[in-house]
Chain A
Amino acid sequence: MSGVLGANSVLVQAMLVNLLLALSLQIPLRSGVFSFAGLGSYGLGAYTAAIVVLRFDHPALLALAEGVLLSGLVGVLLARLLRRLNGLYLGMASIAYGGILAVVVANGGALTGGAEGLYGVVADLGLTEITVIVLLVVVAVALSERGRTGRAVAAVREDPELAAAMGVDVARVRFVVLVAGCMVGGLAGGINAIMLTNVAPTDFGFHLAVLGLTMIIVGGARTWLGALVGAAIFTWLPIALQALGDWRTVVYGCLVAAVAVWAPHGLIGLAGQAVRAVRRSASRRKPPGPGAGRAPTGAAEVDLLAGEGVGASVGRPM
């Protein structure tokens, strides 16, 4: 590991966990499924990994896999249970999953460590392994944004009825993304528990929902790049703003409000708009070729008024 990366390895690990957390919310949201189930799964993945490492001496990778699997199974049950809910109602119902889990583990006795949680979750999981795991998840998510899957997801988000009329199984897409979000959330929790060597019921409270949403709002909710940008900003910004003390919260608030108002698709959306504007202006500067003089939209000649003795046209030299 190079010098800078090595010196900041804890922050890099935290950023990777934050990236997974953001993706756990973004994957369903990209299909228009407003689900916080990934946050509950974050807790489930964390506790599963901690318990199997502490009680059964499972290696880190196996512990993570078990956390992901259990999170996926619970995700399947949740997706079936909540399949008729949408929008804010689904958000409220799915956030309750994390709340219920927090109460269960706080009262789980010796198995979960009660209100204090579990300590000494020591397993061999380095930055390289975490990076490779996160990279695999990111590649899978990036692939799901392209081609047929990407178009189906966009259609389900923007217009479910249209998607169905195009042959997309809307219910199946919504089911899959909710379960996938749960699995990624479980992975994030498992890595975090092993990385910090402890887990407590307060780890996956409401603050985690705020952090996750903030990351994808600021970065951009439509692509994994947005989650990456959001995770990077909200991992490193607290360090950069340490001198401000409690005023950091004000800076966070202003940043989120500014992005929500002026860049509703996040910083990545803003960058995309800028790139498109540059391309458009570059194409306008190109010397006119054959067919110049037609309407800039490529529109065929359009009769605006076609009454008797009255005529006007767009795109045709008068």
Chain B
Amino acid sequence: MTVLELDDVAVHFGGVRAVDGVSLRVEPGRIYGLLGPNGSGKSTLLAAVSGLVPLTRGSITYAGLSARRHSPAEVARSGVARTFQTVRLLADLTVLENVLLGTDRPGRFRAARRGRARAQRAAAMDALTRVGLDGSADRRPAELSYGMQRRVEIARAIAMSPHLLLLDEPVAGMNREERAEVRDVLCTLRGEGLTQLLVEHDVQMITDTCDEVVAMNSGTVIARGDPDDVVREPAVREAYLGKRWGRRADGG
């Protein structure tokens, strides 16, 4: 069963074709990587999948739900969680409360109506433990390092117990150890059957984590397939390094 299907998706902002004719089938239990230089349309595509920007053309189907006809809240409630390119935590809430926001998704804990608050807290603490922040539950986001704040965002998304996790540059600003920790978390989640769509600039992170990669440039797909093959594609190197340096890297 396909978790997510993008068919000829286009998002235009006036004359700017941020995404133009992208099609993709996302199978369950795999991590898909979206690779591409700045402005290639990766984050816009992620926003389109989560229903935050309207489609100019095409359709997105997630478990029978079309994001073109539904609000972002409905998409989220259907089991699509996401993190953002920049840290977006609520400064007035503690780390635990920020993660609890993820557990508030309607439909979660329906069976545990009586002990709902306790069940939500346990789920939030579990998500924090997964990203190694269970000791920081009572802190405010401002008291944490940037890398830790990003991990809180991941915990909040995990706490939604999603079927599909969209990650927009989740390791940006993190040091090597933190990146490795996040990579391990994502791989563990894949092992548990969680499908993920990962936007990332870090090629090492993409090749270490993803099962399949889609490379984009100027809103269109320029390569797709096995991560190691895609990063060696001349078109991908050219998109990142420019024509001259791309050819040199290829030994041309």
Contacts and interface: CB of A to CB of B under 8 A. Distances in A.
B222 interface: no
Interface string B5-18: 00000000000000
Contacts of A167: 73, 76-77, 104-106, 160
Interface string B170-211: 000001111001000000000000000000000000000000
A158 B91 contact: yes
A302 B100 contact: no
A165 B177 contact: no
Contacts of B102: 166
Interface of A: 147-148, 151-152, 154-155, 158-159, 161-171, 222, 297-303, 306
Given A147-B117, A303-B176, A166 B160 contact: yes
A155 B132 contact: no
B92 A306 contact: no
Interface residues on B, range: 35 or more
A89 B143 CA distance: 35
B148 A297 contact: yes
Most chain B CB atoms below 10 A, which of A163, A164, A297: A164
A298 B101 contact: no
A166 B136 contact: no
A163 B90 CA distance: 10
16 contacts: A148-B104, A154-B90, A159-B90, A162-B84, A164-B51, A164-B52, A165-B84, A166-B76, A166-B156, A167-B104, A167-B106, A297-B144, A298-B136, A298-B144, A302-B145, A306-B176
Interface in B57-98: 71-73, 76-77, 81-82, 84, 88, 90-93, 97
Contacts of A297: 136, 139, 143-145, 148
B50 interface: yes
Contacts of B73: 163-164, 167-170
Query: When A and B form their complex, which 6 residue pairs have the shortest distance between CB atoms, in order from nearest?
Result: A167-B76, A164-B72, A167-B105, A167-B77, A148-B104, A298-B136
A162 B104 contact: no
A151 B132 contact: no
A159 B88 contact: yes
Given A167-B104, A171-B71, A302-B177, 17 more contacts: A147-B117, A148-B104, A151-B90, A151-B97, A152-B101, A154-B90, A159-B90, A162-B90, A165-B50, A165-B52, A166-B104, A167-B73, A168-B104, A298-B144, A298-B148, A302-B145, A303-B176
Contacts of A147: 117
Nearest to A161: B52
